[in-house]
Structures are given as structure tokens and as C-alpha cells.
Structure 1
Amino acid sequence: MKATVKLYKTDGQGEYGFPVKLIISHNRKTRRKTIGYSFEEDWDLTSNLPLPSHDDFEDLYTTILDIRKKAVLSDFRKLDDFPAAFDFFSDKKPTVSLNFYSWMDKRIKLMESQNRNGNASIYRDAKKAFETFSPQLNFKDITPQFIERFKNYQKELGNKNTSIRVYIATIRANYNAAVKAGVIEDKKPFIGALDGVKIKKRRAKNRYLSEETLREFENLSLEHPSYQRAIDFCLLQFYFCGADLIDIYYLKKNDLSNNRVFLTRRKLGDRQYEFDILLTEKAQHIIDKYKCDNPKKEYLFSWPKAWTSYKTFRDNHNRNLKILQKRLAIELLPKNDNLTSKVMRHTFATMGKFARIEEDLLRELMGHERNDIDTVYKDKYPEAERDAAQLKIIGQ
């Protein structure tokens, strides 16, 4: 019976790096067990040990040395079956001293690489809130008592239950990701974590614009360029089957081809997929007003593409809509509310229902996440049928 520990690169790199595996060999047979994870830059391939830059250096380094010491003992070498061999090393405690904030930083970096900048921003806010309360935090420090103290601290600051719940839910998501990765043992510190921070549950606000208001938008000609752009991009969202503003902002020139628009919902992160809709005359008219004519630029619109630049654009867009809503007496249905970019997605969906468009067809037009893997490879509805539904909804 022989045992060793290696950074196991055969299966490829995952979300948390390559697996670090305990490899046991006996009678020309081999069994493996993951004991941790590491990125290659945090690993010494010569000594097969983590480098000091590894987030879990102390515990993982100690664990591997302990395995090596036991692997040379006669009690281990004379074992004759794999379960007993793995049990021989199982008295080592899970690696729970991993720095929690370092873990979150890697998760944030991952989300940014997947264009999930909204989620990354939420993670940063939660991390900042916890760092203010506890500048140093390891996984083993996250206990029910710690969460309770954090809740009381947030209440003393006067923060609303909604914000506190988001912070705790975000930390819980990061903790659960580490459990799923096999990095830590689940001590279940979040049982009852949201007790005392209840919020009033409300039905989703599916506010929308009437067809009459949409036609008024199409006929508006405003002197202020920013106000006109706000209206134009509301309409463009509607013409693009309720596309999110961020997906329009980041459109590339090659996303428009053969009279079609190829969209990818950034909101879905690593679950996103490409779908196409008809490039209508109404949409093309708006695009022509704002498109970048420089042939060397890859993006359809010339605004800066950093995440902070998009946030500024979105905030200004929604602020302009708020001003226009008041000046033009724009009302939402069925109950009036604030006009924002989100309203246009609800508007397209509602107009589709009013037009008696089949629900699955409407979902396909709007690029909803697909639950059936089979539909990733083929469209359920023919292009002509999808285009006809789109034109019926937008009124062209």
C-alpha cells in the first residue's frame, strides 16, 4: 500500500482551481480522494506542496505533511483494502481556517470573468459590511453566534432588514460554495440566521406601459439629447423583445448580422446562451442614431465599456426617465410606479400576453433561461413564427 498527494490536473481546472488529491495505490490499482483545491500559481509542483500564497496554506501544508508521515508507517503499508487505507488518514480535521475574505475575492473575480458584474457588486457590498464588523474572518469563525452579533450590529447602525438579509444571504452563498467545493465541512452556521430580520413579502411589481403610451414615445421629439436618448433606448429595449439595458449597452457590431440581432443575457452568468431575434425597421432607426461609425471599434455604441461606466449610464438613464415621467405625466399600469429600464421587459411580456402569444414562444423571444438541455441545441419555434410574434407585439 502506497500513498501520495498531488495537484491533480488530469480532470482540468474548475472554479476553485485543480483538485489536490490523496492518491493510494495497491496491487496495481489506484484510488483517489480530493482533500483540497489549488490554483497552479499557488502550488509547488516539485515538492507537491502549497505555496505560502495559497489561501489555506497553513492547514493544507500541515495535512499533506501528516499524510506523508503516516504513509511510511508499517501499520499503513500492511493494509490490504482501500477503504481501510483512506480511513487511516481520516482523523485530520477539515481545513476550516481558510480566510473567508480571500475566498470571497476569488468568487468576485470569477463573477467578473463571467460578466456577472451586478452579482459581483452585491458580493463586494456584503464583504465590506462584514469587514467593518470583523476585519479578520476565517471560515471557522462563522458561527450562529457570530451571525447573531452581526445582525445586532447592523440594527444598531439603523440599517433596514432588507439590507441585512442581503448581506447574510450573500455570505451564506459563499460559505455554501466552499462546502460544495469540498474545502470545508458544513457546520450549518446559518440555521435561523434570518430570524429577527423579517420583511414584508410582496408580489413582484410587474408594472408596464400601455400601448397608447408606447405610440406616444415613438412620436416624441425632445430638444434635450439625454431625454430623447432615454426614450429611444426604452423603445429599443421593447423592440428587442424586452432586452435588459445592460445587454444592449454591450452589444457588438458583429451581434447584428443578416437582419438579426444575436443577444446573450449577461444576467445568467455561466448559464447564459445566445439567442436571436429579428432586427426590425424601428430598432434599426434608433441604432442608426447612436451607433459608432468607427470601423475599428467592435462595440455597436461608443460609450466606455467598464462596469463603472455602465452603472453611470444606467443611473443617468433611470434619472432621466424619472424626470420625463413627471414632466410628461407618464403613468404605469395596472398601478402607477417609477419608470425605469426594468419596466420595458415587463411591458413586452405584458403586450405579448395581451396579443395571445403562446407562453413558451414568448419566453423564447425574451431569452429566458432554458431548463431542458435539449432546447439549447434547437429552437422550439421556427424563425418565421418567432418573427411574426415579435412584429405583432411591437406593432410593426
Structure 2
Amino acid sequence: MATVKTVLRKTKLADGSYPISLRVSKDRNSKFFQTIFRAFPNEWNETTGSFTAKNSNSIQNNRLLLKFKDRALKILSDLEMEKSDFTLKDFENHFRIVSNPVQQNLFYFWDEIIGEMIYAGRTGNAKVNKDTFESLKKFNKSTKLNFKEITPSFLYKYEAFLRSRGGSDGGIGVRMRTIRALYNFAIERNIAKEQDYPFKIYKVSKLKGKNLKKALSIEEVLKIRDLDLKKYPSFVNTRNYFIFSFYTRGMNFADMMKLEWKDTDCDKIYYTRSKTKGHFKIKIVLPVQEILSYYRKHSIGTNYIFPILLKNNLTPAQLENRKHKTLQRYNKELKEIAEICEINKPLSSYVARHSFANCLKQKGVATDIISESMGHQNLAVTQAYLKEFDNSVLDDAIEILV
């Protein structure tokens, strides 16, 4: 006899909650089917397999869980009538595909994935997916689209559509990688079939951004570091963020924003890079120490070093919103600082990281040291990274011929 129960899985998510799955058991074997729900242990009743009143939307969520269970029980009943020796694989085929054709709809599935990303606090990924969702919907002119319809031909037409609207290789690459990741999710969850995978023919790797990375020389960095802030007091934070990033091996804005006082001691900063999850231990050099001292003196009373997040315990959505607003202002003011310092390069938050690598290269530091300091996974990444910077050595060599 087959049984169905909703259970809290043991895999802990980033926010401390656990995924809820439908467990179907038969002949002492079980198979789990992930739902869209997550819960903290105190929000879940193990015995009844339902949300407790501590869950903010327990009544509606329990109703939806019952629908999952009812659909599973109906499929089991139908299979029992067809053949008593059916397997869990038979059930899976009916539950995921046959009895639920709407699941094969790309936009329906995508909406669930975006919801899961938001719930897990991955708001940056959720935003990229939302933007691509809207773009593809505009191209398709409806939300009726199955995974089997995402063919290489479809993707080439979508690429042409994006180019007609001014899309660059880099921007189109972001869209295509997002769709590819979604397709991979769908294969993992048995929503789409691997044999239909279009990215074996349509290669996203050809879509590489052709814009050269911009980097400052050490002389240009020092111009910003030595900017007379008494003369330009409105640029104190922007100048500090840029110099702090440069002298902390190119720490990106999102990580700086969330850096707390507890992440520092007398001579080191400890943090985990959001993008790669690499762990960093960085020596506090004099310019960084001066910036830290400034913010200790001008603390706004939060756990954070910088006055970007104005209070503790913000939700992921609030963090993302705050990052977006502050980063816009930061990049705008960096361009104004570049003009004041007579730096004829488009300055942005990421230029600090590029400049750190470029200045080490100019000083003759070995590529493997640069690679380790930046947290790159291998030397090839660093070599490709450095290759894009201005090569003054070659320029000087050419001068010999003049």
C-alpha cells in the first residue's frame, strides 16, 4: 500500500528554514517531491505534516499543501486501478508530467523558481530572473511556452530580437545563461527532458562582453585617495568606499555594505565573498585603518561599518533595495570625483577591483599571487582578467620604434 505525507526535509537553507516535500512511499521505498514551501522548525507540525499557527500564512499554505496531497492520492488511486504492481517511477511520471501539464509551462515553472530564490534571500538572482522572464515574455508575446518549444532556432530568434533592441553580447549572454540555468533546474526536477536540451547546439559561450575592463594606475588611485575632502565634503563616503575597496583586494560593494564591526579585529578583516563564497582574511593597512577610525567616530549605531544599511535585521528584499539605491548614487559620485581628479576613465564601483589587480600587475607581482589575493579559482581566470587591462609595457616597447 502506498502512503503520502508532507514532511520537513533535513537540508537547512541559507535563511535557516527547511524545504517542505511530499513523501510518497510504497514497498518500503520512498520518493520526495519538492513543493514551493519552506518553514522554520517552530512553524511545522511533524505529526500532522502541516504548518502551525506560528506561520504567518498557515491557513492558506495548509490548504495548498492539502491540494498537493489530494492530487497525489488521486494519482495513486488511479494507478492502483490500472495495475497493482506500479512503481514510484510510474507515480512520478504521472505526478510531474502527465497529470500536471501546466508544470511543463516554462513561465509557470520560472515563477516558482523566482519565488524560491526570494524566499532563500537570493534577491540578486531573483531580479536577474525577473528581468529575463519579462524580456522573454515580450518576445514570445504570451506566457504559453513549453520547455520543448525552447529549441536552438527559438533561441537564435530571441537573440536577434534582443539585438534589434540594442542588446550587446554581454547583456544577451546574461539572458541566455539565465534561461540555460532555468532549463537545468527543470531537467533536475523532471519537468523537462535532457534529450530536448537546446544548449548542446546553441552555445552561450560565444556571447562574451567585448567591453574592456577599465582600471586605474596607482597614480590615479592616489589622486582619489588624497582628494581634499574639506573642499569636497559631500564625497566623503564615496571616496572612502572606493579606497576601502581598493585596499581590501577589490572587495565588492555588496560585501562592503554588509561588513560588520565583528568582522574586524586589531589588524585583520574577515569576510566571505557573496559571489564565490570564498573566505578572506585581509590585513588592515593604513588607508583602511583611517577609514575604519572615521566610521567608528561617526557610527550611526548599527552593527555595520558603513552607513549604507541604516538599521539591523533588514529582509533580503530590503537589502537589495537599499543596495540598488545607494549603488546608483555611489557610481554617479564616482564619475564626479573622476572629473575633479582629472581621470579620463569611466569610474564605477567595480573599477576598484580591476585597479587593484592592474596595480599589482604594474608593480611586477606574480600572477599566481594576484590570483590568490583576488580569490580566483584558477590562474586561467586571473590571466584572462589581466589580459584585458591596459598593457603599458607594450606601449613603452612600441615607443622604441618611433
TM-score normalised according to structure 2 size? 0.68
Q: 2:178 aligned to 163, 170, 181, which one?
A: 170
How far has the Cα of 1:226 moved from its partner? 3.3
1:323 aligns with 2:336: yes
Distance 2:78 2:349 in 1: 62
Match of 1:217 in 2: 224
Which residue identity lines up with residue 185 of structure 2 in the other structure? A
Moved more, 30-39 or 229-238: 30-39
Which residue identity lines up with residue 76 of structure 2 in the other structure? I
The verdict on how the C-alpha distance between 1:40 and 1:349 changes in structure 2, with shifts beyond 3 A counting, is closer
How far has the Cα of 1:298 moved from its partner? 0.9
Match of 2:244 in 1: 236
1:126 aligns with 2:135: no
Distance 2:367 2:289 in 1: 27
Alpha carbons 1:5, 1:64 under 8 Å: kept: yes
The verdict on how the C-alpha distance between 1:119 and 1:140 changes in structure 2, with shifts beyond 3 A counting, is closer
How far has the Cα of 1:285 moved from its partner? 0.9
Alignment of 1:1-396 (within 5 A): 2-9=1-8, 11-12=10-11, 17-25=19-27, 30-39=28-37, 53=64, 61-71=70-80, 75-76=83-84, 79=85, 85-86=87-88, 89=91, 92=94, 94=97, 95-98=100-103, 100-101=106-107, 103-112=109-118, 116-132=122-138, 133-134=140-141, 136-137=143-144, 139=146, 142-144=149-151, 150=158, 154=162, 162-186=170-194, 188=196, 190-191=198-199, 202=210, 205-222=212-229, 223-268=231-276, 272-291=277-296, 293-294=298-299, 296-304=301-309, 306-331=319-344, 337-368=345-376
The verdict on how the C-alpha distance between 1:156 and 1:280 changes in structure 2, with shifts beyond 3 A counting, is closer
Which residue identity lines up with residue 127 of structure 2 in the other structure? S
What SS class does the counterpart of residue 39 from structure 1 fall into? strand
Distance 1:104 1:309 in 2: 25
Alpha carbons 2:225, 2:243 under 8 Å: kept: yes
What SS class does the counterpart of residue 280 from structure 2 fall into? strand
Where do 5+ consecutive residues of structure 2 fail to align?
51-60, 311-318, 380-402
Distance 1:370 1:19 in 2: 38
How far has the Cα of 1:65 moved from its partner? 1.3
Distance 1:198 1:359 in 2: 26
Alpha carbons 1:148, 1:193 under 8 Å: kept: no
How far has the Cα of 1:221 moved from its partner? 0.6
Distance 1:280 1:139 in 2: 55
The verdict on how the C-alpha distance between 1:212 and 1:17 changes in structure 2, with shifts beyond 3 A counting, is same
Where do 5+ consecutive residues of structure 1 fail to align?
332-336, 372-396
How far has the Cα of 1:51 moved from its partner? 6.2
How far has the Cα of 1:227 moved from its partner? 3.4
User: For 1:184-211, what per-residue CA distance to the aligned partner results, in whole angstroms no more than 9, with x for missing partners?
Assistant: 4446363488589975763x73432222
The verdict on how the C-alpha distance between 1:226 and 1:259 changes in structure 2, with shifts beyond 3 A counting, is same
Alpha carbons 2:170, 2:209 under 8 Å: kept: no
Which residue identity lines up with residue 20 of structure 1 in the other structure? L
What SS class does the counterpart of residue 208 from structure 1 fall into? coil
Distance 1:52 1:147 in 2: 39
Match of 1:378 in 2: none
Distance 2:157 2:362 in 1: 50
> How many residues were matched structurally?
346
What SS class does the counterpart of residue 267 from structure 1 fall into? coil
Distance 1:67 1:17 in 2: 23
How far has the Cα of 1:8 moved from its partner? 4.6
What SS class does the counterpart of residue 329 from structure 1 fall into? coil
The verdict on how the C-alpha distance between 1:188 and 1:218 changes in structure 2, with shifts beyond 3 A counting, is same
How far has the Cα of 1:160 moved from its partner? 5.3
How far has the Cα of 1:238 moved from its partner? 1.4
Alpha carbons 2:247, 2:285 under 8 Å: kept: yes
Distance 1:307 1:88 in 2: 43
What SS class does the counterpart of residue 228 from structure 2 fall into? coil
Distance 1:309 1:131 in 2: 28
Alpha carbons 2:171, 2:209 under 8 Å: kept: no
Alpha carbons 2:118, 2:126 under 8 Å: kept: yes
Identity %: 21
Alpha carbons 1:116, 1:267 under 8 Å: kept: no
Moved more, 254-263 or 145-154: 145-154
The verdict on how the C-alpha distance between 1:67 and 1:13 changes in structure 2, with shifts beyond 3 A counting, is farther
TM-score normalised according to structure 1 size? 0.69
What SS class does the counterpart of residue 251 from structure 1 fall into? coil
How far has the Cα of 1:154 moved from its partner? 4.8
How far has the Cα of 1:6 moved from its partner? 3.0
Alpha carbons 1:221, 1:228 under 8 Å: kept: no
Match of 2:396 in 1: none
Match of 2:393 in 1: none
How far has the Cα of 1:171 moved from its partner? 2.6
Moved more, 8-17 or 179-188: 8-17
How far has the Cα of 1:111 moved from its partner? 4.2
Distance 2:292 2:81 in 1: 71
Question: Pairwise CA RMSD of aligned residues?
Answer: 4.2
